[in-house]
Amino acid sequence: MRTMVELTIPKDYKDEPIFYQLIKKFEVIPTIIEASFSTDNGWAYIKIEGEENEIKKAFEFLRSKNIIVDTRL
């Protein structure tokens, strides 16, 4: 499965290796298409590939960190 998603990342996580954690914790491959970070927050458009259940777990992980996951792309 492959899906496009927009992430809105709170400033608390701008220095945290979120994408590295996704790769290590879940069987997914995130590809950053475009991203921007400021002192207040950040956003990223990513393509994420993997089994549907692994992608769902990855999204739950992101949401647990108050990262907004928008799959409407």
| Digit-coded pLDDT (tens) for 42-72 | 999 999 999 999 999 999 999 999 999 999 7
- The domain containing residue 49 runs over which residues? 2-70
Beta bridge partners of 31: 47
If DSSP states are collapsed to H, E and C, what string results for the chain?
A: CEEEEEEEEEHHHCCCCHHHHHHHHCCEEEEEEEEEECCCEEEEEEEEEECHHHHHHHHHHHHHCCCEEECCC
Supply the pLDDT for residue 53. Answer: 98
Q: How many domains does the chain have?
A: 1
- How crowded is residue 21: how many other Cβ atoms within 10 Å of its Cβ? 14
pLDDT tens digits, one per residue of 1-11:
999 999 999 99
Write the CATH number for 23: 3.30.70.260
Supply the pLDDT for residue 65. Answer: 95
pTM: 0.90
